[in-house]
């Protein structure tokens, strides 16, 4: 004759079933991430192959895309820095500072790589849109605050070393700050080396409107 199950036995059995269902229903974080990335790729369309390539993360991006609040290990940070430095292409002219007036225009230009009506806008060159994240010239209020204000940046000086450092920061900021929010403007091909030299000049040239008191 079968014995009736006790309340404890029923509870244990129900818990086991729920645990099994939970394991089957909710995949782990990595699997969830893979599924989400596949969905994004399947739904995203772009008019040029170059834009579609952005869906594939490079090694540095893979390291920086850690799940949740996981922090970079020292080894991971070092690898990102190494990869970022290797990505930098220096200007063929050998000069890190170009024309500050051209740089000023770039800093406020948001054009380039925009898809409008299913088509990529036709532009000879992209803009930098630095004001989207940084305060630039004194007195401005319509600027972003994601990054530090760059007003008076030229107070650091305009030596060759500072020009090179500034060029590298703009080209690929991860060289100095692994996984920061600063766009990798040169490494992604959004801006050319020549354009970046103009931004450098805008930042460090004593005559630049950015440095006027």
For 168-202, the pLDDT digits (tens) are: 999 999 999 999 999 999 999 999 999 999 999 99
CA distance 150 to 104: 12
Domain total of the chain: 1
Residue 140 C-alpha from the chain's centroid: 25
Asked if residues 177 and 165 have their Cβ atoms less than 8 Å apart, the reply is no
> Average pLDDT, whole number, for the chain?
86
Per-residue confidence (pLDDT) for residue 133, from 0 to 100: 94
Please indicate, yes or no, if residue 77 is contained in any of the structural domains.
Answer: yes
In this predicted model, what pLDDT tens digit does every residue of 16-58 receive, in sequence order?
555 555 555 667 777 887 888 788 888 877 667 767 777 888 9
Average pLDDT over residues 100-123: 86
Please indicate, yes or no, if residue 59 is contained in any of the structural domains.
Answer: no
37/79: higher pLDDT: 79
Average pLDDT over residues 132-146: 89
Which CATH number goes with the domain that contains 84?
1.10.760.10
Please indicate, yes or no, if residue 98 is contained in any of the structural domains.
Answer: yes
Please indicate, yes or no, if residue 30 is contained in any of the structural domains.
Answer: no
């Amino acid at each position: 004759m079968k014995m009736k199950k006790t309340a404890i036995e029923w509870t244990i059995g129900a818990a086991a079933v729920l645990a099994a269902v939970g394991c089957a229903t909710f995949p782990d974080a990595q699997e969830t991430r893979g599924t989400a990335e596949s969905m994004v790729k399947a739904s995203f369309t772009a008019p040029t192959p170059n834009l579609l390539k952005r869906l594939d993360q490079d090694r540095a991006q893979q390291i920086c895309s850690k799940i949740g609040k996981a922090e970079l290990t020292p080894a991971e940070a070092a690898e990102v820095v190494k990869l970022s430095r290797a990505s930098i292409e220096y200007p063929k002219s050998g000069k890190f500072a170009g024309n500050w007036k051209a740089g000023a225009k770039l800093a406020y230009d948001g054009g380039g790589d925009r898809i409008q009506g299913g088509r990529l806008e036709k532009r000879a060159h992209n803009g930098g849109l630095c004001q989207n994240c940084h305060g630039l010239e004194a007195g401005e209020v319509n600027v972003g605050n994601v990054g530090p204000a760059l007003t008076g940046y030229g107070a650091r000086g305009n030596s060759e070393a500072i020009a090179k450092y500034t060029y590298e920061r703009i080209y690929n900021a991860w060289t100095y700050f692994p996984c920061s929010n600063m766009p990798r403007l040169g490494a992604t091909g959004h801006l050319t080396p020549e354009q970046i030299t103009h931004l450098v000049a805008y930042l460090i040239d004593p005559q630049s409107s950015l440095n006027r008191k």
